[in-house]
Amino acid sequence: MFTGSYVALVTPMFQNGDIDYKSLEKLVRFHVEQGTHGIVSVGTTGESATLPFDEHVNVVKETVAMASGAIPVIAGSGANSTAEAIFLTEQLGKAGIDGFLSVVPYYNKPQQAGMVAHFNAIADASELPILLYNVPGRTVADMLPETVSELAGHKNIVGLKDATGDISRLKATQALVPKDFVLLSGDDGTSSDFMCEGGHGVISVTANVVPKAISQMCEAALAKDFAQCKAIDKTIELLHSALFIEPNPVMPKWALYKMGMMESAEMRLPMVLPELASQKHIEELLQKYELISG
Among candidate residues 6, 61, 106, 161, the one labeled active-site is: 161
Q: Which secondary-structure segment (H or E) carries 11?
A: none
**Nearest-angstrom CA–CA distance, 259 and 283:** 9
- Triad 186, 187, 192: Cα angle to 5°: 105
**Nearest-angstrom CA–CA distance, 203 and 72:** 13
3-state secondary structure of 168: helix
Question: 123 with 96: CB under 8 angstroms?
Answer: no
Kindly state the DSSP code that residue 166 receives in the 8-state scheme. -
161 catalytically annotated: yes
The total number of residues shown for the chain amounts to: 294
Report the 10 Å Cβ neighbour count for 107: 10
Burial of 69 (0-12, 13-18, 19+ CB in 10 A): exposed
Question: 50 with 15: CB under 8 angstroms?
Answer: no
CA distances from 48 to 189, 228, 266 (A): 23, 34, 15
Strand partners, 73: 39
What is the C-alpha end-to-end distance of the chain, expressed in Å?
41
94 catalytically annotated: no
Q: Is 203 labelled a binding residue?
A: yes
Among candidate residues 6, 106, 133, 257, the one labeled active-site is: 133
Question: 159 with 2: CB under 8 angstroms?
Answer: yes
Q: Is 71 labelled a binding residue?
A: no
Closest CA to 174 of 153, 187, 160: 160
Per the annotation, binding residues for pyruvate are 45, 203
Per the annotation, binding residues are 45, 203
Residues designated as active site: 133, 161
